[in-house]
């Protein structure tokens, strides 16, 4: 199979900075879509992978799975999209399509392992996948999303990961009118959880360790804010929430949040702490509470989320950066110094 050379930004080792490099992508096949990348969000997963913090990173590594662009070319059998259309790519670019989960439209839970947008292996070239810190990408049309025209494209990029990662559990646990929902942590994930849960009709309660985030939580749409460092506030809100979305990736006492749940309430973890979180039996047993987890969403869920965001004009709060600033952005990300998502203007790669 023929390949094309593409400019990208990536790293060659865990301790190395990201720098400009050339990568090879496949030529467009019959069902492929070639996308000129306009914007790419910066997810904390990018940093974890680039620095091999989750182990198993394939080098050279080009991160990026919050991709928005415009279609440059389509294969002869492509039916859903055409050149000139806006398009997006999220965390997956393929799956086995044969297992029980894939047949149910749950590619994110592919039993054979889906093909991730970067740090995975594609079946065409039998080589690693490279992400969105690059000038273009080639993806099977079944894994390409449509972007509502009314959305700010740069601010829409984080919807492809942060958006759907919070949307999927909110939908699965039937968040909507008549439900009281807690969002733990106001960062890249949490701020999207607040916006989406509010637009879905829920009564939204932000739970934060920082009094400095109270005002911003209300700006994002929160109806109430609880300071988790205030024992009296936490005690006063015990047994009041139907659902809690825990977006914290640092170590924290999950039992404190479980105690906020009503009978049969669920806490879903979407943050990914490095070490196990101890769960006390009596945080669960007396109220038949559930402690669950959730990953990204399916392709269908992602499109549903994008359409919902288009209808309600929901995007992420972003800081737009040049690709040359990515190493500094990673250092700021470690410090939590961003409100709330970095997005790369990929035009800077051509400068």
Kindly report the CA angle at 108 between 104 and 241, in degrees rounded to 5? 95
Q: Decide if pLDDT at 336 tops 90.
A: no
CB half-sphere exposure, 23, CA atoms < 13 A: 29
* Residue 307 covered by a domain: no
309 within some domain? no
State residue 248's pLDDT score. 93
Residues 169 and 145 in one domain: no
What pLDDT does residue 123 have? Answer: 83
Residues in the chain: 351
> What pLDDT digit, counting tens, does each position of 222-253 carry?
999 999 999 999 999 999 999 999 999 889 99
Are both 284 and 180 inside the same structural domain? yes
Do 242 and 95 sit in the same domain of this protein? no
Number of domains, the chain: 2
pLDDT band at 77 (very low <50, low <70, confident <90, very high): very high
Q: Are residues 178 and 150 in the same domain?
A: no
H/E segment holding residue 292: strand 290-293
Tell me the mean pLDDT in the region 103-132: 93
The tokens of 136 are what?
């273009």
Q: How far apart are the first and last CA of the chain?
A: 30
32 and 135 fall within a common domain: yes
Q: What CA–CA distance (Å, rounded) separates 325 from 20?
A: 12
> Residue 327's pLDDT band (boundaries 50, 70, 90)?
very high
* pLDDT, average across residues 155-172: 98
Q: Same domain, yes or no, for 30 and 83? A: yes
CATH number for the domain spanning 337: value is: 3.90.180.10
Mean pLDDT of the chain: 96
The structure tokens listed for 159 are 């919807």
User: Given a cut of 80, is residue 175 above it in pLDDT?
Assistant: yes
Are residues 330 and 269 part of one domain?
Answer: no
* Cis bond before residue 60 (omega within 30° of 0): yes
Contact of 62 with 119, CB cutoff 8 Å: no
Residue owning tokens 């050379």: 5
Let me know if residue 313 belongs to a domain.
no
Whether 340 is covered by a domain: the verdict is: yes
Q: Do 229 and 287 fall into the same domain?
A: yes
Query: How buried is residue 84: exposed, middle or buried, by Cβ count under 10 Å (0-12/13-18/19+)?
Result: exposed
| 274 inside domain | yes
pTM for this entry: 0.95
* Together in a domain, 278 and 327: no
**Does residue 351 surpass a pLDDT of 80?**
no
pLDDT of residue 116: 97
The pLDDT assigned to 325 comes to: 97
* Together in a domain, 102 and 179: no
Let me know whether 212 and 250 are in one domain. Answer: yes
- Between these two residues, 102 and 211, which has the higher pLDDT value? 102
Whether residue 275 lies inside any domain: the answer is: yes
pLDDT of residue 274: 79
Q: Domain containing 94: what range? A: 3-161+318-350
pLDDT at 272: 86
Short-list 84, 61, 53, CA closest to 71 = 84
* Joined tokens for residue 229: 């460092």
Q: Is residue 301 part of a domain?
A: no
The pair of three-digit structure tokens given for residue 269, joined into one six-digit string: 């973890």
Distance CA 188, CA 246 (A): 12
Predicted confidence at residue 275, as pLDDT, reads: 87
Report the CATH number that the domain containing residue 238 is assigned in CATH: 3.40.50.720
pLDDT value at position 125? 79
Number of H helices, E strands in the chain: 11, 17
Residue 256 pLDDT level (bands cut at 50, 70, 90): very high
| Same domain (yes/no): 276, 224 | yes
CA distance 92 to 139: 10
- Domain-embedded: residue 311: no
pLDDT at 127 over 90: no
Whether 264 and 286 have beta carbons less than 8 Å apart is answered as: no
């Amino acid at each position: 199979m023929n390949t094309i050379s593409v400019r990208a930004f990536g790293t060659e080792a865990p301790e190395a900075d990201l720098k400009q490099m050339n990568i090879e992508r496949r030529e467009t096949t019959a069902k492929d879509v070639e996308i000129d990348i306009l914007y790419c969000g910066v997810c904390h997963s990018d940093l974890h992978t680039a620095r091999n913090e989750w182990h198993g990173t394939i080098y050279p590594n080009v991160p990026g799975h919050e991709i928005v662009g415009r279609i440059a070319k389509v294969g002869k059998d492509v039916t859903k999209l055409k050149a000139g259309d806006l398009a997006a790519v999220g965390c997956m670019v393929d799956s086995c399509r044969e297992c029980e989960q894939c047949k149910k439209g749950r590619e994110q839970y592919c039993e054979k392992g889906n093909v991730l947008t970067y740090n995975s292996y594609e079946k065409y070239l039998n080589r690693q996948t490279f992400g969105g810190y690059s000038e273009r990408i080639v993806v099977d049309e079944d894994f390409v999303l449509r972007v509502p025209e009314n959305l700010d494209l740069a601010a829409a990029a984080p919807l492809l990961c942060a958006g759907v990662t919070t949307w999927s559990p909110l939908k699965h646990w039937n968040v909507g009118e008549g439900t009281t929902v807690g969002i733990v942590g106001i960062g890249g994930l949490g701020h999207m959880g607040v916006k989406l849960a509010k637009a879905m009709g829920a009564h939204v309660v932000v739970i934060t360790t920082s009094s400095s985030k109270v005002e911003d939580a209300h700006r994002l749409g929160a109806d109430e804010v609880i300071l988790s460092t205030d024992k009296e506030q936490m005690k006063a809100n015990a047994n009041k929430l139907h659902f809690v979305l825990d977006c914290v990736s640092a170590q924290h006492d999950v039992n404190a949040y479980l105690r906020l749940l009503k009978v049969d309430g669920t806490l879903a973890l979407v943050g990914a702490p490095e070490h196990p979180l101890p769960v006390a039996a009596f945080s669960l047993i007396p109220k038949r509470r559930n402690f669950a987890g959730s990953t990204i969403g399916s392709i269908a869920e992602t499109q549903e989320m994008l359409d919902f965001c288009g209808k309600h004009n929901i995007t992420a709060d972003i800081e737009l950066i040049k690709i040359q600033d990515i190493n500094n952005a990673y250092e700021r990300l470690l410090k939590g110094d961003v409100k709330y998502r970095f997005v790369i203007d990929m035009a800077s790669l051509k400068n």
